[in-house]
Structure 1
Amino acid sequence: MRFRLKLQVDHNFGSILPLNYQLEVSRLIYDILTEDSYNFKKWLNYNDIPYKNHSPFFNFSNIIVVDRKIYGDRMLILSDTIELTISFLYNCCTEEFVYYAFENLIFKLGDSASKIRLKVVGIEKLFSPKFSNKMQFIARSPIVLRSYGNSRYVNFLSPVDTDYNELFAKNLIDKYQKYTDYPLEDHNIYTSIELLTEPKSKLLGINGQQRELVKGYLYRFTIEAPKELLEVGYKIGFGDKNHLGFGFCDILYATDKKLTPILDMNGEVASPLKKASAQLD
């Protein structure tokens, strides 16, 4: 379930925002949603989410600014209004929860160097798409996929790496298993991912007590997988670090084409999920 927030900029207060605002936006959304602990706990209860479950339950888009100028690591906002879309995995009472938390809200966003003051002047519930087993997506924010391998240092994978598809699919399965109580049947787990555009890398610095560099990729892709997995990816994000706004994708195309396994020369199922599917046994 997605909601587009229309935010009015108070230019008398300030108009400059850091370009790498992911951490600040993530913390802001979480603080707003949890400020009224009674309503937050009630929403968690409606969706059967344990109160002490620290798993991220939302994803968000880039901030849409029509008119702006870039100065170093800062963005000068010239538009009077900007937009932000927030996506939730859980649907029960979410609309009421979001309107209660955000309607007419005034808040500040930014870091210690520059902040802006915003007022929520519009909330739009977006159309809920129909999910199918084959869909095309466009990454609106970088898709991040991490691997540690045999090292303690993180490696950010590129979509052209040989094990990218398998880890991409395993990430979806892990999310589905984590967020739902409905196991997938093994024979339905046939997945393929096809790049439609050349991946464009983005290196972002996440501000905090210790600055963290995160590398992700923007691209369009076709994916065949059980529609339950694709719904989770659409709602909570593809790849890693979704609570920081990474992996936010829009749908380009969908079809209800029936999935069939593709066999290799040895009669084995040729699928990136071949190894990952064993987790669902």
Structure 2
Amino acid sequence: MRAKITVRKISRVPIHFDYQYGIASMLYARLAAANMRLANEIHSHQGFKFYTFSNLVIEDWIPTKGGLNFTKAHFFISSPDTEFIRSFTEGLLLEPEFFLGTGERGMKADFIIERVEILPPLVLSDSVVFRTLSPVYVKTQRNKDGQLVEVDLYPKDSKFYENLHTNLVDRYTEFYGHGVEHDHFEVLDVSDVKPKRVSIGNSFRRCSLMKITVEASPELIGFAYDAGLGEKNAMGFGCVDVV
């Protein structure tokens, strides 16, 4: 299930380029306002979190330096868990005001939710072209000086695709409680790759925007659309749309 959230910025100051953590925090707070039980389950769960959200789609860019300035934008939130989406949208309607950081110490940009739309489900086949609405993050561990260290992967690395598939199957299995009946996942083409470096908390994640053509089991394609591709989906990574 997917929802489109239209927002209006009512402060004149621009927001920081790395706003994903702020949106993630706001989403959790609104979920807690509507469904504390579900919010506590998500917060305490040590495994995967089965939702993702897109970057802001800015509708009226205002030229500025040192941030993103605009009046109106929207973003998407998506999950295979319909209770989560319904609870989240209820929480937004209960508390439509929120803020995001500006990069200036102590300054915040105020927002208000203008509209919440539940989008109709898509009928997906076994072949699809995804366009990323937020960057895909994939990592691995590699030996460096005798120690295993985490390494962020870009699409130029073949390990990127192996881990993308493994992660998708693992999340599907945990969510549904069983494996994919016919596990097939092949990336046929990747184009328009734009490497990104996103700050989340006190660390940076190297990730990528792209178009990615996938041939896979319809169950996996549908799950990728609902729950996102790659890792850290609940932090705003891996949200995709169909071209």
Maintained 8 Å contact 2:31/2:39: no
CA contact 2:13–2:102 (8 Å) conserved in 1? no
Distance 1:170 1:245, change over 3 A: same
Whether 1:205 aligns to 2:189 is no
Change (3 A) 1:137 1:85: same
Identity %: 23
2:163 corresponds to 1:172: no
Change (3 A) 1:92 1:31: closer
The structural deviation recorded for 1:52 is: 3.6
Distance change in 2, residues 1:62/1:215 (3 Å): same
Change (3 A) 1:18 1:226: same
Which residue of 2 is the match for residue 107 of structure 1?
Answer: 98
CA displacement 1:168-220 (0-9 Å, x = unmatched): 111111111121123223xx2232102241422111222x3xx2111111211
Partner residue, 1:219: 210
Q: Quick one: structure 1 residues 82 and 161, their matched pair in 2 at CA, closer, same or farther if it must change by over 3 Å? A: same
Matched, 1:85 2:76: yes
**Distance change in 2, residues 1:107/1:68 (3 Å):** same
- For 2:4, the equivalent position in structure 1 comes to 4
Q: Unmatched 5+ residue regions in structure 1? A: 253-281
8 Å CA contact 1:17, 1:110 repeated in 2: yes
The ranges of structure 1 where at least 4 consecutive aligned residues each deviate by more than 4 angstroms after the TM superposition are: none
Q: Secondary structure at the match of 1:223?
A: strand
Structure 1 vs Structure 2 CA RMSD:
2.3
8 Å contact 1:9–1:15 — kept in the other structure? no
The 1:98/1:223 distance shift into structure 2, 3 A limit, reads same
Alignment of 1:131 onto 2:124: yes
Structure 2: runs of 5+ lacking an equivalent = none
> Aligned partners of 1:164, 1:94: CA distance in 2, in Å?
29
Amino acid at match of 2:191: T
More deviation, 134-143/194-203: 194-203
Confirm or deny: 8 A CA contact 2:15 2:103 kept in the other structure.
Answer: no
| Bigger strand fraction | 2
The residue identity in structure 1 corresponding to 2:175 is Y
Residues 2, 86 of structure 1: 8 Å contact kept = yes
Number of paired residues? 235
CA distance 1:115–1:44, shift in 2 (3 Å): closer
Asked whether the equivalents of residues 16 and 103 of structure 2 are also in contact (C-alpha less than 8 Å), the reply is no
Q: TM-score, normalised by structure 2?
A: 0.87
TM-score (ref. length: structure 1):
0.76
Aligned AA (1:170): T
Q: Deviations over 1:121-146 (max 9, x none)?
A: 21111121112221111112211110
What CA distance in whole angstroms lies between the structure 2 residues aligned with 1:244 and 1:70?
26
In structure 2, C-alpha distance between the alignment counterparts of 1:165 and 1:149, rounded to whole Å: 16
Match in the other structure for 1:189: 183
Q: How does 1:227-266 map to 2 (within 5 A)?
A: 227-252=218-243
Residue 3 (structure 1) shift: 0.9
Does the aligned pair in 1 maintain the 2:164–2:230 contact within 8 Å? Answer: yes
For 1:145 and 1:93, locate their aligned partners in 2 and report how far apart those are by CA, in whole Å.
25
Distance 2:109 2:194 in 1: 30
1: CA distance, partners of 2:108 / 2:189:
38
Separation of aligned partners in 2, 1:107 and 1:180: 33
